[in-house]
Amino acid sequence: MQCKIEEYVVTRNETGILVLTGTAPSCENNPMVTVTYEEGLNKAIELSAKAADDGNWNRIWFSFEKSSPEEVIYGGGEQFTLNLAGRNWPIWVREQGVGRDPDNPITGIMDAAEPGSGGAYHTTYYPLPTFLTSGGFAFVGSMNKYSELQFNTSTYNTVYAHGNEIVGTIFQEESIVNLVKKISSLYRVPPPLPTWTDEGAIIAVQGGTERMLQVLRNCQAEGVQVSGLWIQDWSGKVETSFGYRVFWNWQWNETLYPGLDTVVEDLIAENVKVNVYINPYLNIEGNLFREADSRGFLLLDSSGQSYVQDFGGFFAGTVDLFYEPAVEWYIGVITRNILDLKFGGFMADFAEYTPLDAQTRNESMALLSGEERHNLLPAFWAKTVRLALDRAGLDGEVIAWMRSGYRESQDYQVMVWTGDQNVDWSVGDGFPTVIPAALNLGMSGFGLSHSDIGGYTTFEIILNRSQELLLRWAEHSAFSPLMRTHEGNKPTLNAQVYDNQESLRVFAKMTKVFKALSPYRRFVINELND
C-alpha cells in the first residue's frame, strides 16, 4: 500500500527546530510522517523524514520541486551518464556490468551467460544518495539501505528509500562550484598523493621478475617517464575462462617473482616504486583463507560457517571487516606482506559482493539489515586500508586506489579508479564513460579519480584493444590525477604501451606531459582540499 501525505501541521519544538507533521487520513491506518528541518554548519539544512515506527511502513518517498522542467542534475556518485535528469538511479553497490547497454551485443552475451552480469545504465561500483542541480540545490543522503534517486518527472526530484526514514543534508547555492564545495566540506580532507606519482606513469606488467624488469628497461630506453610498476600477480596467478587472474592469497609468490624484495629496493634507488594488488577476499586454496577460517575472521553463512562464494573460476571467502579482531588481523596482513616489503602502493579492489544473507560477528552490525551491510562494506574496506597506512606512518608515501565506495568511503580514500571498462569506444561501457564518471563522482564530493589506460574487459575476437584506443586513452590520462596502465584480463589479445617503438614513442610524450603538469595538478588538488 502506498499513501500520500495530504494534511500537515508545521511547528517549532523547544530547541527551535522546524517540525512538519503530516498525515494521510484517506489511507488505511492514517500513517503519520514527521519531517524535521534543522540549520546545520555551512548554512546547511539537516532533513529527517520519518514514517511512524508502528511496523506498517517499509518504504518512503520525499520529493523536492524542480527549479524548471529543463533542470540539469549531476552526482549520484560514480555515474557513467553526465546529466541524470529523466531517469531513475538505484543507489546500490555492485559490479558495473559488461556492456551496460541492451543495444550492445556484448551485454546480451554476458546476460545469457549469467543473468544481470551485462549491467545497465545505472549499475556502478560507487553509488551515492547525493545529487545537485543547475537550479542551485543539493541533497546529500545518509541512508544505508537500498534507495533511488528518481528524476523521471518534469516537476519533482524524488528520493526513495527502503525502510521508513530519509535523512540527509540540503544545500542551496548560486553555482554548481559552490554546491560542490559545500558537499565536499562534509568529508575529511585526504592525505596528499605521494610525490613520486607525479614523476610519470605506473606501468602494469605481469609474468615474473625478469619480465617486469625487461618491460621497465624497454620503456625507459624510449623515454617513457616511469614512476612505478604495477605487478598485480605478485601473489600468484590463476588461469580462468575469463582470463589471467590473480591468486587471492596476499603474500609474495617467490616462485613467480624471485628476488622481488631486492628488486624493490634497487628500483627505489632509481625512483621507481613497485605496486601490488589486494582485495578483501581470500581464495580457499590459500593459507590465508585457512588461517582466517580457523580464527573466525570471515563473514558467515546462515549455518554459521565461513561464507564461500564463486568468483568465476575459483572460490573465496570475505574477511569480516565489520569485526574488529578480523580487521586487526587483516591490517597485519597488509603491513607485513605489503608495507614492510616497501611497495609504493596497491590496488585495493572489490568489496561489492557482500551477500544479503551474510552474517558478521560484530553484534551491533549484526542488528543491521543485509542491505545495509552490503552497501557499507566498501567503506569498512577503505577504513581498514587507511588504518594500515596511518599506523605505519605511510600516508602521503604509499598510495592505495579503490573502485568501490559508498557513504563515508570518502573519509578514508585517497584515490579512486573508474573500474573495468571495455576495451572499446562504446558510450555504455568504453572509453567515453570515464569522463562523466569522474565528473559525477567529483560533484558528489570525491574529486580524485583516474581510469585504466586502455580499459580492461577483453574477449576473444569480438573485443580486443587497438593501438589507437590505447594511445587516445593515454592522451586523456595525461591530464588526470594519476597515470596508470592496465594489460586487461587477456593481455596477449590487447595492444600494450610496450609492444613496439611507435606505441612507446607516443606514450613517452604523454608521460612527459603528465610530469610537466605536476605543479598545476598539485595546485588544483590543494584547491580542492581547501
Distance CA(420)–CA(350), nearest Å, equals 11
C-alpha torsion sign, points 292, 294, 295, 296: positive
Close Cβ partners of 463 (under 8 Å, ≥ 6 residues apart): 106, 422, 423, 424, 457
Q: Which listed residue (349, 372, 424, 452) is catalytic?
A: 349
Distance CA(316)–CA(333), nearest Å, equals 17
In the three-class reduction of DSSP (H, G, I as helix; E, B as strand; rest coil), residue 319 is classed as strand
Is 324 tagged catalytic?
no
Give the β-pairing of 273-278 and 226-230.
Answer: parallel
Q: What is the DSSP letter of 203?
A: E
Q: Which listed residue (198, 199, 352, 424) is catalytic?
A: 352
Q: Which listed residue (95, 397, 420, 487) is catalytic?
A: 420
DSSP secondary structure letters along 43-108: G-EEEEEEE-SSSS--EEEEEEE-S-TT--EEEEES-SSS--TTSEEEE------SS--TTSHHHH
In the structure grid, which three cell numbers stand for residue 285, read together?
Answer: 586454496
Per the CB < 8 A criterion, the answer to whether 141 and 159 are in contact is yes
Distance CA(31)–CA(3), nearest Å, equals 8
Is 349 tagged catalytic?
yes
Is 352 tagged catalytic?
yes
In the structure grid, which three cell numbers stand for residue 166, read together?
Answer: 530519509
Q: What is the DSSP letter of 422?
A: B
Distance CA(386)–CA(520), nearest Å, equals 27
C-alpha torsion sign, points 113, 416, 122, 433: negative
Report the candidate in 2, 29, 38 with the shortest Cα–Cα distance to residue 167. 38
Task: Give the residue carrying C-alpha cell 538511479.
Answer: 89
In the structure grid, which three cell numbers stand for residue 124, read together?
Answer: 556502478
| Tally of CB atoms within 10 A around 363 | 9
Active-site residues, by number, are 349, 352, 420
